[in-house]
Structure 1
Amino acid sequence: MAGLGVPVWLAEDDLGCIICQGLLNWPATLPCGHTFCRDCLKDLWGARGARRPWACPTCREGAGQQPQLRKNTLLQELADKYSRAVRELGEDPAPASSRAPAPAAAPGPPHHPARQQVAVQKSITEVGQKLTELVEQLVDIVRSLQNQRRLTESGPDNELGILGTTFSSGVDLSLASPKLVTSNTSEGKMKDVLHDLEEIQEKLRENLTWKEASEEQIQMELPEAPSSSSCPLPNQSLPAPKRASRFAPWAINPTFDLQTLSCTLEVSKNCQIVTVSHHPQSYPRSCKRFSTSQVLCSQAFSSGQQYWEVDTRHCSHWAVGVASWGMSRDGILGRTIDSCCVEWKGTNQLSAWHMVKETVLGSDRPGVVGIWLDLEEGKLAFYSVANQEKLLYECPVSASAPLHPAFWLYGLHPGNSLILKQVRV
């Protein structure tokens, strides 16, 4: 007996390949569960160097040898059914790699499925950004209430005094704040609410980061729209997409190293978002772990040229740079001879730290920082990344010991986070 036919609403991106931005063609599912066109994977893997050549483009999970690519027959059947259904509606669902120009149509507003997809994703992103702002406001309100209670109970000591004392003595800033009192029900509930809000906050940030990357990649593939004042496109009023980075050929995708992660920090599952935890984490004791709110990346460089970007917009006080693996686990980034960085102090001051010396750079805060490590010429450069890269600071570096991307987050504000961005190519 034939099974019950249930109508299911699908969009093209539900069955799409994030590499070619087209409908899945000979879909191959990797061991991590993500699916791509087989030929797209082969082309991508063939263009990579020797470092983790078989990594998944989405989650970066990889193996020592190339996995066997088998066709996902269920997804292929769904893609074929979707293609037939769309063709009946007069659309063109072919994969991006083989999509032909659409035939001439009757006069009217220009139609392009990819542009409509961008417009829809922009709307979703805008809603997500509004939600993120609201959650951040709620987090600030709860923290303010906690600070009022904290000040009432701790007397004249305040966070600024604690910060000055602990910073000069090298004590972990993340542990400087007095412990929250949880002896009564209202304080316990406040603590639980804040924890839940911060979890929602992290999920929103992860989703928005992924959507922004997807939108930028789609915009790159769009053809030029015909100019028409009477038929504006849905996204015509939006700002022009950012151009590709000039450092793209040397771009890497570093990941946070869990061995060095401070117990005051947490990382996302893909190891590309690090967040100041509300509660100290019970990580295994290790001499490799920082005692302050710092973390290195797993990748180490002793030659060549590398470039990566860090989204700092969700952190009020941070430092990003490089350090050797031998950096003191009690030290602070930039305050040791084997580390250097740029630091936003949260007091409208951007500084660079090199050879334990501070150089004040100004009062403009960069939302995204690009780091260019050129070990062939022995130099390190920091850029503010917007529509183009603007040089912030440059200094000489030595490759006598391999250098790791390094990060420090201000430990008195749970929820602060740094994000390793995918570089626009």
Structure 2
Amino acid sequence: MAGLGPGPGAAVPVWLTEDDLGCIICHGLLTCPATLPCGHSFCRGCLEGLWGARGAGRRWSCPTCRQGAAQQPRLQKNTLLQDLADKYSRAARELEADPGRAPSRVPDPGAGPALGSPSHPAQLPAAAQRSRTEVGLELAELAEQLGHIAKSLQSQRPLSEPGPESKPSILGTAFSCGMGLSLTSPKLVTSNTFEGTMRDIPHALEEIQEKLRENVMWKEVLEEQTQELLEAPSSSPGPLPDQSHPATRTASQFAQWAINPTFDLGSLSCSLEVSDDGQTVTVSRFSQPYPWSRQRFANCQVLCSQALSSGKKYWEVDTQHCSHWAVGVASWEMSRDQLLGRTRDSWCVEWKGTGQLSAWHMEKETVLGTDRPGVVGIWLDLEVEKLAYYLVADQEKLLFECAVSTSCPLHPAFWLYGLHCGNSLTLKQVKA
């Protein structure tokens, strides 16, 4: 059975970013990667260090999906991931040394897909990288159309035509070997003769060029709209994904108990940054050189400075710009190498980024549904020891409530996990 991919020696451009080959623990490129039974991979040293800090009495759980085991899994080096990480590192170094030149392909006969290509995202502007999936699909479809043309030329070449040296045959071979795509595309060749097909080629190429121009124009318009939204004042946010008329939102029923917490810089993980006004926390691209402290989280977590020990409190968190997050409360004594919702003194509601919303406490998960809240309201009634989470739209809708312990003050707590630089959570002003 013939292979579906390109022939031997053909290089297939693969778009990879550092996130694709990154470790969620150290936020760096994978080093001696080990893959757990759940399928997630991390630096072996990072895993051993994290598990060692937790102590032998705790579960050997995956930092991403929290799937655990009774005994520590045997960690073995994933040679395929290590090879890809090494190739990526070499390509990145070449780009840094000479930005105008595409990274050379490693001349290894057993090498996999080439990381260095003119379309590698390291050579593209950040705005272009954001829509590379859509652009890639569009270009793949266009390439498929060219492939149909070339194959038609091959099949319709008269027997009297020259053999492998003829231009149509060479063109068809190039596309059949280098463009092994499976997307369904419209048939652009309509003529039934070789001469007719030759006449159709300019028209087909004009259609393809027009599609490319439309794609670029659409992308530019989309980027302009995105930039306008980013530059809009924070007092007039755009519509949330789950509400059609945000302007009609009534005053919050919890407005009289609203507080204005701020992120605590002393507990801030070195993977995070806080805005000047103390209202937004963001996953930074590089580890921050914060001074060492016993109060600083090892993972992408942070507490607020405000200690809540009595009365009724309410605050809101905008989660729209974060793909993986957890928000809730924790005591100041929460272990700095533990995760929010996995300890006796922390509670949270969590969006996994895979279409599932859950509540967590003491490593017990309660699945709440598949709808992602754009803004989460957190209601803490210390008089009756109750914590509740609300979906905030035109009015508050209860998501989940549970009991909490008031043996020590509680702080608003946040977790931004995964290698997703630029993800952010913002403390919103409650509508009065």
Counterpart of 1:146 (choices 4, 12, 17) is 17
Write the distance in 1 (CA, Å) between the matches of 2:414 and 2:19: 30
The one-letter amino acid of 1:354's match is H
2:257 paired with 1:210: no
* Residues 145 and 188 (structure 1), Cα distance of their counterparts in 2 relative to 1, 3 Å cut: farther
| Distance change (3 Å), C-alpha of 1:206 and 1:298 | farther
Equivalences for residues 85-164 of structure 1 within 5 A: 145-146=16-17, 150=21, 161-162=40-41
Q: Distance in 2 between matches of 1:156 and 1:355?
A: 29
Q: 1:168-179 counterparts in 2 under 5 A?
A: 169=60
Tell me if 1:265 matches 2:289: no
Aligned ranges for residues 55-70 of structure 1 at < 5 Å? Answer: none
Query: Per the alignment, in what secondary structure is the counterpart of residue 210 of structure 1?
Result: coil
Q: CA deviation at 1:241?
A: 2.5
AA aligned to 2:95 is: T
State the shift of 1:158 in Å.
Answer: 8.0
CA offsets 1:202-254 (integer angstroms, 9 cap, x no match): 998775462416x99xxxxxxxxxxxxxxxxxxxx976431111111111111
Local SS of the residue matching 1:262? coil
Q: Does 1:299 align with 2:310?
A: no
Give ranges in structure 2 of 5+ residues lacking alignment: 1-13, 23-28, 51-58, 65-80, 100-121, 131-223
Deviation of residue 201 (structure 1)?
13
Pairing partner for 2:251 from 233, 237, 244: 244
Looking at structure 2, the residues matched to 263 and 183 of structure 1 have their Cα atoms a distance apart, in angstroms, of 25
Q: CA deviation at 1:157?
A: 7.2
Residues 303-324 of structure 1 show CA distances to partners (whole Å, capped at 9, x for unaligned) of 0111000011111110000000
Q: Does 1:403 align with 2:274?
A: no
Instruction: Tell me the distance in 1 between the aligned counterparts of 2:352 and 2:275.
Output: 25
Q: Distance in 1 between matches of 2:266 and 2:230?
A: 22
Distance 1:322 1:164 in 2: 30
Q: Which residue of 2 aligns with 1:361?
A: 368
Once residues 279 and 191 of structure 1 are traced to their aligned partners in structure 2, the CA distance between those partners, rounded to angstroms, is: 19
Secondary structure of 1:249's partner?
helix
Which amino acid in 2 is paired with 1:162?
S
Of 95, 98, 102, 1:185 maps to 95
Alpha-carbon distance in 2 for matches of 1:308, 1:264: 24
Question: Helix, strand or coil for the counterpart of 2:397?
Answer: strand
Name the residue aligned to 2:422.
415
- CA contact under 8 A between 2:385 and 2:404: conserved in structure 1? yes
Q: Distance in 1 between matches of 2:62 and 2:43?
A: 10
How many equivalent residue pairs?
Answer: 259
Secondary structure at 1:291's aligned position in 2?
A: coil
Quick check: 1:371 aligned with 2:242? no
When residues 301 and 171 of structure 1 are mapped into structure 2, their CA distance, relative to the original with a 3 A threshold, is same
Greater displacement, 178-187 / 372-381: 178-187
* C-alpha distance in structure 1 between counterparts of 2:245 and 2:374, whole Å: 20
Between the aligned partners of 2:275 and 2:21, the Cα distance in structure 1 is 30
* Structure-2 change in CA distance of 1:254 and 1:195 (3 Å): farther
Determine if contact 1:305/1:372 at 8 Å carries over to the other structure. Answer: yes
TM-score with structure 2 length normalisation? 0.52
Q: 1:266 to 1:169 in 2, by over 3 A?
A: farther
Per the TM alignment, residue 354 of structure 1 is displaced from its structure 2 partner at its CA by 2.0
Deviates more, 1:356-365 or 1:300-309: 356-365
- Look up the SS of the partner of 1:365 in the other structure: coil
Normalising to structure 1: TM-score of the pair? 0.53
C-alpha distance 204-420 of structure 1, shift in aligned 2 (>3 A): farther
CA contact under 8 A between 1:339 and 1:355: conserved in structure 2?
A: yes
Residue identity in the other structure for 1:185: L
* 1:264–1:281 Cα contact (<8 Å) kept: yes
* Cα distance between partner residues in 2 of 1:153 and 1:380: 39
**Residue matched to 2:285:** 278
> Distance in 2 between the 1:293 and 1:372 partners?
23
**Residue from 300, 308, 317 that aligns with 2:324:** 317
Alpha-carbon displacement from aligned partner over 1:392-420 (angstroms, at most 9, x marks no partner): 11001121110000000013111111111
User: Separation in 1 of the partners of 2:308 and 2:352?
Assistant: 28
In the alignment, the residues of structure 1 paired with residue 295 and residue 226 of structure 2 have an alpha-carbon distance, to the nearest angstrom, of: 26
What displacement does 1:388 show? 0.9
CA 1:251 to 1:292, structure 2 compared with 1: closer, same or farther past 3 Å? same
Whose radius of gyration is greater, 1 or 2?
Answer: 2
Cross-structure match for 2:142: none
Alpha-carbon shift at residue 356 of structure 1 (Å) = 2.8
Corresponding residue SS for 2:41: helix
Aligned-partner SS, 1:184:
helix
| Counterpart code for 1:161 | H
Task: Please tell me whether the aligned partners of residues 264 and 411 of structure 1 are also in contact (alpha carbons under 8 angstroms).
Answer: no
Give 2:268's aligned amino acid.
Answer: L
Q: Aligned partners of 1:158, 1:203: CA distance in 2, in Å?
A: 39
* Cα pair 2:246 2:393 within 8 Å, conserved: no
Residue 164 of structure 1: CA displacement? 12
Q: Secondary structure, in 3 states, of the residue corresponding to 1:183?
A: helix
Question: In structure 2, do the counterparts of structure 1 residues 388 and 149 end up closer, same or farther at CA, with 3 Å as the change threshold?
Answer: closer
Distance in 1, matches of 2:98 and 2:321, equals: 26
CA 240–204 in structure 1, closer or farther in 2 if over 3 Å, else same: closer
SS at match of 2:340: coil
Residues 260 and 288 of structure 1 are in contact (CA less than 8 Å); yes or no, is this contact kept in structure 2?
A: yes
After superposition, give the CA deviation of every residue in 1:149-176 in whole Å (9 maximum; x if it has no partner): 8499989978962269959746876xx9
Within the candidate set 392, 399, 404, 1:392 is matched to 399
